[in-house]
Amino acid sequence: MTLIQKLRRTARPYGKTAQAILRWKRFSFHEAPPIFGNSKPKSGSHLLLQILNGFTQIMPYRYVDVDPVRTIKYEGGRRTGDEILADLKRVPDGVIGWGYVDATKENASFLTSAGRVNYFIYRDPRDMLVSQVFFATDMHEEHGMHNYYNSLPDVAARLKVAISGIDRDGLYMVNVKQRYEGVFQWLEQKNVMCLRFEELINNRDATLNAMLDEVEKTGYKIPTPREKAISALVDAINPKKSHTFRSGKTGGWTQHFTQEHKKLFKEVAGDLLIRLGYEKNNDW
């Protein structure tokens, strides 16, 4: 990151706060409930982030936090539970937080406390795997699997590794079933609205309405009329503005999964898709 980029990043909260003061004609941003948007990587986090940015146009929030709260350090390795919880508590009043946070007892206790709003987005594991493979191979050179994926002959070979995981030669990545253990932990939490990526794509308006209902369950009344609010959120959604954008579609896995991939996935994941509600049985 260049010096100019660092300066812009540092100045961003002040500029966004100034915009919010002008937009909402207020200096205090304590009225609207604290919001946190959460996800597993490659599961729709940037779609959710765009919606949260849209929230700042229809409710008096200052801005959406520029950096996500992460479980994994940028340079690799896991952060401590205390570090993660401290980051969650550090999000200022009137600022919408987001990140990739596990459902530990401490994290869940803080995030689901009274008066808070939480969204957790997840997606079809098959689409998530395809997205992860392309992201790590073509879009993120610093990804831990970048070099290894590029050493493999094709997407088909990479996808097999993504399904099965790897633990050798200093590389470690869990298999697809293990990836979703953390998803189920959030699905089991109360006071967390769990969103399917697919619903936000294919049943957009109804899902956005439900998200706004979740805010108003706290007793807060959104000041923007609902029809206008939905329109503003729809305008905020633009997958091509995401630096991780590839297709922004659902069901793309069908273009990459061979019969061999399907067989391997079923062996590794078992009834994962059935438990998540993506399939009624394993005859897909």
Name the maximum alpha-carbon separation found in the chain: 59
In a domain, 10, yes or no: no
- Number of folded domains that form the chain: 2
Residue 11 lies in a domain: no
Q: φ, ψ for residue 112 (rounded to 5)?
A: -100, 15
**Is residue 152 included in any domain, yes or no?**
yes
Task: Give CA separation, 23 vs 27, 52, 102, 236, in Å.
Answer: 11, 17, 34, 17
> Whole-prediction pTM value?
0.90
Say whether both 173 and 195 belong to one domain. no
- Same domain membership, residue 151 and residue 209: no
Q: Are residues 81 and 134 in the same domain?
A: no
**CA end-to-end span of the chain, whole Å?**
45
Q: pLDDT tens, position by position, for the chain (284 residues)?
A: 577 777 878 888 999 999 999 999 999 999 999 999 999 988 999 999 999 999 999 999 999 999 999 887 765 668 899 999 999 999 999 999 999 999 999 999 999 999 999 999 999 999 999 999 998 888 666 677 888 889 899 999 999 999 999 998 888 989 999 999 999 999 999 999 999 999 999 999 999 999 999 999 999 999 999 999 999 999 999 866 654 444 557 899 999 999 999 999 999 999 999 999 999 999 99
Give the number of residues written for the chain: 284
Asked if the structure places residue 146 within a domain, the reply is yes
pLDDT of residue 245: 45
CA pair distance 42, 69, nearest whole angstrom: 15
Looking at the structure, tell me whether residues 173 and 71 fall in a common domain: no
- Contact (Cβ atoms closer than 8 angstroms) between residue 136 and residue 127: no
Strands (E), the chain: 35-39, 63-64, 69-70, 95-100, 117-122, 166-168, 171-173, 193-196
- 164 and 60 share one domain: no
Q: Residue 153 domain-assigned?
A: yes
Residues 155, 59, single domain; the answer is no
Q: What is the pLDDT of residue 24?
A: 96
Q: Based on the domain organization, do 120 and 130 belong to the same domain? A: no
Would 140 be classed as within a structural domain? Answer: yes
CATH of the domain at 106: 3.40.50.300
3-class secondary structure per residue, 25-47: CCCCCCCCCCEEEEECCCCCHHH
Same domain for 155 and 39: no
160 and 264 both lie in a single domain: yes
Cβ pair 172, 98 in contact under 8 A: no
Instruction: Give, in order, the Cα–Cα distances in Å from 156 to each of 143, 160, 162, 175, 185.
Output: 19, 6, 10, 16, 30
Angle at 118 between CA 194 and CA 280, to 5 degrees: 5
Residue 225, burial from CB neighbour count under 10 angstroms (0-12, 13-18, 19+): exposed
How confident is the model at residue 244, as a pLDDT?
46
Same-domain check for residues 44 and 133: no
Q: Are residues 222 and 150 in the same domain?
A: no
Domain that holds residue 256: 126-179+246-276
Same domain, 251 and 161: yes
Q: Is 8 among the domain residues? A: no
